[in-house]
Amino acid sequence: MTGPAGGPAASGHPAGPALPPTLAANPRLSAWVDLSAAGAVTVSTGKVEYGQGIWTALAQVAAEELEVGLDRVTVAPVRTDRSPDEGITSGSRSVEESGAALRQACAQARMALLAAAARRLGADPASLRVADGRIVGPGGPTGLTYWTLVAADPAVLDRDAGPPVPASDPRRWSVAGRSAPRRDLPAKVTGRPAFLHDLALPGMRHGRVVRPPAVNARLAGLPDAAALARAGLPPGTAVVRDGSFLGVVAEAERDAVRAAGVVRRAASWLAGPEPGLGALPPLPDCDDLAAFLRSAPAEESTVARRADQAAASRAVRTVAAEFTRPYLAHASMAPSCAIARWDGEQVTVWSHSQGPFALRGAIAAALGIAPGQVTVCHAEGAGAYGHNGADDAAFDAVLLARAAGGRPVRVLWSREDELGWAPLGPAMLARIEAGLSPEGRIVTWRQDVWSNGFIGRPGSGGHPRLLAAAHVAGGEPAPPAPDGPPTGAMGSTRNAVPGYDIPDLLVRRHRLLAMPLRTSSLRSLGAFLNVFAIESVIDELAAAAGADPVAFRLAHLSDPRAARVLREAARLAGWDARPRADGTGWGVGYARYKGLAGYCAAVAEVEAHSSVRVRRLWVAADVGKVISPDGVANQLEGGAIQSASWALKERVRFSRSAVTSVTWDDYPILRFSEVPRVQVAIMESEEPEAGAGEVAQGPVAAAIGNALADAVGVRVRDLPLTREQVARAIERG
Amino acid sequence: MDEQDLRLTVNGAGYAVRCDPATPLLDVLRHDLGLAGPRFGCGQGLCGACFVLIDGRARSSCDLPAGAAQGHAVTTVEGLAGRDGAPHPVQRAFLDEQAAQCGYCTSGMIISAVALLAADPSPGEEQVRAALEQNLCRCGAHQRIIAAVLAAARRMACGDPPGRDGRARQDRQAAP
């Protein structure tokens, strides 16, 4: 969530508008645009592709600005020794940040190349234009192209970005603003190597890590090599042990799998950490997370305060309620994977991390070496929805490769380790108390949020936060995850401040200071529960006021962009003419993501007979200017379906010592028979790009919760919204 | 460890592979035959990422011993292209509909779809959903995948016209 992005504009240009922050921090134009291969444009950014289609959108931005055909543009994979550092690919900021930086870098590159052409031609630069990379003058083609200009002066783009220049007018876009086919899909559809998991380096060996049986267990003993061989350890297998970090390295992947099994059965473990070393607290009761969240030590801070005693005193009806979400798993389709190779004192790591630069720093810190000794090369993994196991797997590979004599070692996690050991989205509790005036206006709002921190990525809070760093000799668990400043935009406070017109308001965060299960970023952070909770209370207030849920919201939303998405979602769904049938219900949810980014409203139709089923979803979003409408639609649809999966089914289960929901049977996600139909609408907008990847998570969960309450007549406040939870809510009345 | 010479028929070609017959077929496909299409997702036959066709029926290859595949025709997503190398209509429909996000589940989805359309050339949406029930997708591309399978069925019914490579989705415009 936090990255080195930001900082001052390029020095020497104090006046005028600032450069996009990540361009200012990486001002060399040649770091962004490479025209050295004839006819081709290679752009480098610091943002990584993980199935969200960002490379396609960024290629569109570059093609538009450079005025070349999209097919000429390739986006280079991120490498920490070459790519501009744009922090972490997270927070739905890639189009906003990297798109802006790349647009400006390309606009300046184009201008520099036109100036070079003008000098060669003795022409006025203003008389020249570009057509698919060819320089065209008043009399037609000049015979010059970007590539001939670069061949004549290879250093033409070795210059720092100057003051901002005007970029292309969105009204004249011909490549950006239109849906472009995703460039990574042909390989994936035909089964060609497309993922880090498919990368085979020369001489590569295969590693597996044998994790402890419990979060605090320590390795007590391991039989000697002869005994392991007798137990079936494949010949040529190296066993790597460092404290309680235990792994194997073998020639073939199948041997590594077999060896890990032999070692797992042979190793003996003790409960509790090494004497004198820190430990994680015991895991809480999986079935009473609210008790844990309320009672754990916590640091309290104020998120927002607007005091209006006069308004608050007019409250005649109050709604007070508590809402919870369980721990959630990333549950990516591919287990985490990494390759590492030591060349003397240098280590190169191939990782599907969302933050290659942060990972480089964390690996260096964990090993006590200089960041310059570590190079992280990004390669695509399966879909990522936050801080998953990718970084941990990278460090595993680094540790195992130390014993491989300069040969690369590939590590692939098991499904069990992926679900059991990757960082989790934290459990949360939100308590809300809201008051309604006699006229049916919301006059006062109190919201308290309890959660572990969401900012547990590598390096966060000055700690490497790599799983194996806690297991190696002398290693200790990372301290509880930070949560970012309590602004209402970050961490557990994300969307904790309702976006409605409420005169008297107090929102507080209680960040837990004990972290029994490792928590970190998961798509939309606190917004998922906060919006679910806020929108549930809004529906209850609307009912108390005798108002229609959509009309009640509109009456409290003075922002026209908010009203527009809400009206559009209601229109799409046919809200005013929604059919009423026994056991089915309709609900609406709205939020502006982070309180300052994209707007999204959703309507859900839910069926609650023997089980809870979402039949249809309608999602309307305003995410500002759009580079690729179909890319945005894909993100909205996917976000809606994933949110429905979290809301209906998902819950990490654990004993008092370890996560137990470690297979797809124990951690079910939404399947085809359960997936709702989703219809999306993208609002046309001239506003700045705002990111679409996370806007739907909160509003969709809220719409589902409200629809369920409409269907069954009681409100389920604890996620997930299973049949059992409905039964419990009915019992409680 | 008990290595044997296995004879496998994969994508129409015969292979001799020396390995323990208990080795998962997926491991043999990926490592011995160099096929990246079947993906490792869980190793327990629970997610569908490694699906292949065995005599035309879709099933997981991560929990199928390679020895058990002897005497059967194994087809991976790489083997679906026509004799001229053109992608299978289902593959083209996935491109047309942009039916993926990360694409890690895509090979398995395509395999299940091909098996379905061989058995039922004109399925409805419910049949498509049922046929894909064992294939998990975490990104939420389900709706596009369903649309792609239905589009492929229509395409195959009318003699498989050439694909539009994603252009079905290019006409999308923002709402006013």
Region A664-684: mean pLDDT is 98
From A300's Cα to the closest Cα of chain B, the distance in A is 35
- Residue in B78, B136, B143 nearest the CB of A669: B136
CA distances from A362 to A339, A356, A365, A376, B150 (A): 16, 10, 5, 11, 47
Question: Cβ contacts (< 8 Å) between A684 and chain B: which residues?
Answer: 174-176
From A163's Cα to the closest Cα of chain B, the distance in A is 33
Partners of residue A448 on adjacent β-strands? A431, A508
Alpha carbons A653 and A90: distance in angstroms, whole number? 26
Confidence of residue A14 (pLDDT cuts 50, 70, 90): very low
Query: What CATH number belongs to A21-185?
Result: 3.30.365.10
- Closest residue in chain A to residue B81, using alpha carbons only: A190
Residue A655, classed as helix, strand or coil, is: coil
Region A265-279: mean pLDDT is 91
Question: Cβ contacts (< 8 Å) between A254 and chain B: which residues?
Answer: 19-20, 23-24, 27, 31
Contact A578, A606 (CB under 8 A): no
Alpha carbons A553 and A701: distance in angstroms, whole number? 17
* Tokens encoding A354: 């969302």
Alpha carbons A397 and A388: distance in angstroms, whole number? 16
Nearest CA among A72, A88, A69, A68 for reference residue A80? A88
**pLDDT the model gives residue B168:** 55
Alpha carbons A721 and A710: distance in angstroms, whole number? 13
Query: Which of B96, B104, B107, B110 to mutate against chain A (most A CBs within 10 Å)?
Result: B104
Confidence of residue B119 (pLDDT cuts 50, 70, 90): very high
- Quickly name the fold that domain B4-79 has: Ubiquitin-like (UB roll) (3.10.20)
- Closest residue in chain A to residue B141, using alpha carbons only: A638
Q: What is the CA radius of gyration of chain A?
A: 27
Residue A16 pLDDT > 70: no
Residue A369 pLDDT > 50: yes
**pLDDT the model gives residue A11:** 40
Confidence of residue A12 (pLDDT cuts 50, 70, 90): very low
Confidence of residue B170 (pLDDT cuts 50, 70, 90): low
Nearest CA among A120, A142, A116, A118 for reference residue A131? A142
- Residue in B24, B37, B136 nearest the CB of A333: B136
Q: What DSSP state is assigned to residue A48?
A: -
From A677's Cα to the closest Cα of chain B, the distance in A is 7
Q: What DSSP state is assigned to residue A458?
A: T
Taking the alpha carbons of B158, B161, B166, B168 in that order, is the dihedral positive or negative?
negative
Nearest CA among A332, A218, A291, A255 for reference residue B39? A332
Element (H, E) at A121: helix A100-121
Question: Cβ contacts (< 8 Å) between A385 and chain B: which residues?
Answer: 138
**pLDDT the model gives residue B166:** 52
- Asked if B104 lies within 8 A of A52 by C-beta distance, the reply is no
**pLDDT the model gives residue B161:** 61
Contact A218, A269 (CB under 8 A): yes
Does the fold of domain A428-732 match that of domain A21-185?
yes
Looking at chain B, how many residues does it have?
A: 176
Q: Specify burial of residue A181 (Cβ count, 10 A radius: 0-12, 13-18, 19+).
A: buried
Confidence of residue B165 (pLDDT cuts 50, 70, 90): low
Confidence of residue A17 (pLDDT cuts 50, 70, 90): confident
Contact A283, A217 (CB under 8 A): no
Nearest CA among A652, A648, A555 for reference residue A604? A648
Share of chain B above pLDDT 90, in %: 85
Query: Which of A628, A672, A677, A687 to mutate against chain B (most B CBs within 10 Å)?
Result: A672
**pLDDT the model gives residue A390:** 98
pLDDT, chain A, mean: 95
Domain spans in chain A, listed from the N-terminal domain onward: 21-185, 195-279+330-423, 428-732
Region A675-697: mean pLDDT is 96
Region A324-337: mean pLDDT is 98
Whether residue B112 lies within 8 A of chain A, CB to CB, comes out as no
- With helix as H, strand as E and coil as C, how does A523-571 read? CCCCHHHHHHHHHHHHHHHHHHCCCCHHHHHHHCCCCHHHHHHHHHHHH
Looking at chain A, how many residues does it have?
A: 733
Partners of residue A131 on adjacent β-strands? A134
Q: Hey, what amino acid is at B37?
A: G
Domain with CATH 3.10.20.30 in chain B: 4-79
- Residue in A189, A334, A640 nearest the CB of B95: A189
Share of chain B above pLDDT 70, in %: 90
- With helix as H, strand as E and coil as C, how does A617-639 read? EEEEEECCCCCCHHHHHHHHHHH
Residue A106, classed as helix, strand or coil, is: helix
Chain segment A21-66, per-residue pLDDT in tens: 999 999 999 999 999 999 999 999 999 988 888 999 999 999 999 9
**pLDDT the model gives residue A275:** 85
CA A358 to chain centre: 15
Contact A156, A150 (CB under 8 A): yes
Helix A697-712 vs helix A629-648: crossing angle, to nearest 10: 50
Question: Cβ contacts (< 8 Å) between B129 and chain A: which residues?
Answer: 672-673, 675
Q: Hey, what amino acid is at A617?
A: L
Region A636-663: mean pLDDT is 98
Chain segment A502-536, per-residue pLDDT in tens: 999 999 999 999 999 999 999 999 999 999 999 99
Alpha carbons A182 and A93: distance in angstroms, whole number? 19
Q: What is the CA radius of gyration of chain B?
A: 17
Buried b (16+ CB within 10 A) or exposed e, A291-307: ebbeebebeeeebbeee
Whether the model clears a pTM of 0.90, i.e. scores above it, the answer is yes
Question: Cβ contacts (< 8 Å) between A670 and chain B: which residues?
Answer: 142
Query: What CATH number belongs to B89-169?
Result: 1.10.150.120
Contact A459, A2 (CB under 8 A): no
Contact A121, A142 (CB under 8 A): yes
Alpha carbons A123 and A117: distance in angstroms, whole number? 8
* Tokens encoding A284: 């809480």
Alpha carbons A397 and A102: distance in angstroms, whole number? 33
Alpha carbons A60 and A69: distance in angstroms, whole number? 9
Question: Cβ contacts (< 8 Å) between A181 and chain B: which residues?
Answer: 95, 98, 165-167, 169-170
CA distances from A48 to A55, A102, A553, A715 (A): 8, 14, 37, 40
Alpha carbons B113 and A317: distance in angstroms, whole number? 55
**pLDDT the model gives residue A93:** 85
Helix A697-712 vs helix A723-732: crossing angle, to nearest 10: 60
CB pairs under 8 A between A and B: 204
**pLDDT the model gives residue B163:** 53
Nearest CA among A385, A267, A260 for reference residue A333? A385
Residue A92 pLDDT > 60: yes
Residue A13 pLDDT > 80: no
**pLDDT the model gives residue B1:** 57
- Asked if B103 lies within 8 A of A414 by C-beta distance, the reply is no
From B71's Cα to the closest Cα of chain A, the distance in A is 23
Nearest CA among B42, B23, B75 for reference residue A253? B23
Q: Which residue has the higher pLDDT, A511 or A275?
A: A511
Residue A728 pLDDT > 90: yes
- Quickly name the fold that domain A195-279+330-423 has: Aldehyde Oxidoreductase; domain 4 (3.30.365)
- Closest residue in chain B to residue A693, using alpha carbons only: B139
- Closest residue in chain A to residue B127, using alpha carbons only: A673
Lowest mean pLDDT among A183-192, A333-342, B151-160: B151-160
Residue B20, classed as helix, strand or coil, is: coil
**pLDDT the model gives residue B162:** 55
**pLDDT the model gives residue A733:** 75
CA distances from B166 to A537, B104, B148, B171 (A): 42, 18, 11, 10
Cis amide prior to A720 (ω within 30 degrees)? yes
Region B115-138: mean pLDDT is 98
- Asked if A192 lies within 8 A of B35 by C-beta distance, the reply is no
Give, in degrees to the nearest 5, the angle at Cα A218 between A215 and A220. 150
Query: What CATH number belongs to A428-732?
Result: 3.30.365.10
Region A542-569: mean pLDDT is 98
Element (H, E) at A509: strand A504-512
